[in-house]
Amino acid sequence: MNAQPDFHSGINQGVAPVTYGQGDRPPRGDYAQAKADYTCDQQWERYTAADHELYRRLYERQAAQLPGLACEEFIAAVKHLGAPDRIPRFDALSETLHRATGWEVVAVPGLIPEEAFFALLAARRFPVTGWIRTPEEFDYVVEPDVFHDLFGHVPLLFNPMFADYMQAYGAGGLKASRLEACEYLARLYWYTVEFGLITTPAGLRAYGAGILSSAGELRHSVTSPTPRRLPFDLERIMRTRYRIDDYQASYFVIDSFAQLFEATAPDFAPIYRRVAGAPEFEADSTGDTRAQTASNTAG
């Protein structure tokens, strides 16, 4: 992040926010209806029969691909989303989630600024986009919708270790936003929460939400010989750019969720200083680096 964060950057101004690392099209969603912290009412009754049917089709397609590709922790937790025939009610889902790990699901209009996002995570509140993609976006949607957020992210919040990692990430993000280091945290989020892989006794498996909610990247990330799969390395991740418009060229592999949680324990301030003075890795780099300032890499 090149500029000092605005004190008000985490407060809803009633319009689509300027979000870190996004393209030219403003985020979708009705921000005028959101509260100061960007949360809003789900307004479940506004979903149409077609919306519920689209959710069911998306759910069933992804669920069929999970065996042998998704980690067992995720597969075991998907059932907590309830029957796939309709979009879940966030309040009912939150009751179940809170009993398990102390988290809750809150609705947001769409993409929200980093500070608002970090603050919600730090309070164990996971923001889920209220709207669902159009039928024309069945295979690919540019920004996260209710299916991506629910199916991809929420199941692992039932895992205590991963749930604690997400809260620690949010707390770390609030600090990073004041150290002009959000770009490094965005990369960590991207290569773990969104596109992370894990080694299991049964072999390599996916746990990242961007993989698990994708029609094609789930199999690609686990079985394709094309991408590089690198051991988890915090500083290497923070120095590595990534693609937002294609399958990932590189994935980072953790040994356990405990390893991921332990990685958030140290004070990142000295790490940020070291990373800031080091050359960066391109998304498709095999190891060579280029000393250049990244400008558009967050998701």
Model confidence pLDDT, tens digit, residues 207-230: 999 999 998 999 999 999 999 999
What whole-number percentage of the chain has pLDDT above 70? 86
| 174-189 confidence digits (pLDDT tens) | 999 889 898 899 899 9
Does pTM top 0.85 for this prediction? Answer: yes
Question: Given pLDDT bands bounded at 50, 70 and 90, which one contains residue 143?
Answer: confident
Looking at per-residue confidence, does 277 or 51 come out higher?
A: 51
CA nearest to 55, candidates 80, 22, 87: 87
CB 188 within 8 A of CB 176: no
For range 131-139, the mean pLDDT: 95
The residue written with tokens 């800031």 in the block is 276
Kindly report which listed range (21-30, 164-173, 230-239, 276-285) carries the lowest average pLDDT score.
21-30
pLDDT at 180: 87
Average pLDDT along the chain:
88
pLDDT at 17: 59
For range 91-104, the mean pLDDT: 98
Question: Given pLDDT bands bounded at 50, 70 and 90, which one contains residue 9?
Answer: low
pLDDT of residue 115 exceeding 60: yes
Q: At 147, is the secondary structure helix, strand, or coil?
A: helix
pLDDT of residue 2 exceeding 90: no
pLDDT at 293: 29
> Given the DSSP bridges, would you call strands 250-254 and 280-281 parallel, antiparallel or unpaired?
unpaired
Distance, in Å, from the CA atom of 176 to the CA atom of 171, rounded to the nearest integer, reads 9
CB 161 within 8 A of CB 261: yes
For range 187-197, the mean pLDDT: 96
| 51-84 confidence digits (pLDDT tens) | 999 999 999 999 999 999 999 999 999 999 999 9
Question: Given pLDDT bands bounded at 50, 70 and 90, which one contains residue 10?
Answer: low
Distance, in Å, from the CA atom of 12 to the CA atom of 112, rounded to the nearest integer, reads 9
How many CA atoms lie within 13 Å of 294's alpha carbon, on the beta-carbon side? 29
Question: Given pLDDT bands bounded at 50, 70 and 90, which one contains residue 285?
Answer: low
What are the backbone dihedrals phi and psi of residue 126, each rounded to the nearest 5 degrees, phi first?
-95, 125
Catalytic residue numbers? 148, 153, 194, 213
What whole-number percentage of the chain has pLDDT above 90? 73
pLDDT at 1: 28
Count other Cβ atoms within 10 Å, centred on residue 190.
25
